[in-house]
Amino acid sequence: MEILQLPDMEWRAFDALVPADPEKSLRLATLGPRGTSSEYVAQSMSRILRDRGPLQIVLEDTYEACMEALSEGRVDLALVAHAYQKINAFYMNPRLEPAIVFRGHTPEYGLATRSDFEFREEMLFKETIVSHPAPVPLLRYHFDRAVQVDTSNSTSQAACDVADGRYDIAITNEQAVRQHNLKFVYKFSRIPMTWTVFSRRADR
């Protein structure tokens, strides 16, 4: 499966934004901590751009922190998933502009618990599940009963909350499952997502 799909027009935009220069390092901010789908897509970007020079991925606690770092010049670009509910604020920021838009699949998503946790499906309707807000609708499409959810800053943080025992079940992705030594007890799928890479406006 192709992870990133950039139309020709977006490739041309990327050529203008990231000219080939093996001596120049670009800093790309996106949502952390390690194990997020945002980091996964950023790493895919880094691989396809390796002939243009190194791409340093900077992980921030929130997308807002990414945009602050971009506005202040501490990073050169910022990557945001279109599933993020507050992305409109970034488009409205007069100091920023969308540089490219592309399609990129996330890692596989699912419900995860600690490797030694005895999971039973009825727990889904009795316990609170932790998740980033964006993938919460998966529950509605896969289960026919209401599920109680608490939210976290990222899918990776949700996995960390389960690994640390604050919750027993998380919606998270396969990257975070491996990183935090969890196990999937129910798998959804990869999510075909669109993304925006923001840059600072040249006239600001």
Tell me the per-residue pLDDT of 160-197, one tens digit each, with 9 for 90 and over: 999 999 999 999 999 999 999 999 999 999 999 999 99
Average pLDDT of span 147-151? 96
pLDDT confidence band for 1 (50 / 70 / 90)? very low
pLDDT confidence band for 3 (50 / 70 / 90)? low
What is d(CA 145, CA 179) in angstroms, rounded to the nearest whole number? 30
The answer on 60 and 43 residing in a single domain is yes
Domain region containing 48: 4-106+192-200
The answer on 89 and 78 residing in a single domain is yes
pTM: 0.88
What is the CATH classification number for the domain harbouring 39? 3.40.190.10
The answer on 119 and 90 residing in a single domain is no
The number of folded domains in the chain is 2
- Residue-wise pLDDT tens digits, 78-107: 999 999 999 999 999 999 999 989 999 999
CB neighbour class for 40 (10 Å; exposed up to 12, middle 13-18, buried from 19): buried
The answer on 85 and 26 residing in a single domain is yes
pLDDT score at 137: 95
The answer on 181 and 138 residing in a single domain is yes
The answer on 96 and 71 residing in a single domain is yes
The answer on 51 and 137 residing in a single domain is no
- Residues pairing with 30 in the sheet: 59
Residue 17 · residue 48 · CB < 8 Å:
no
The answer on 114 and 100 residing in a single domain is no
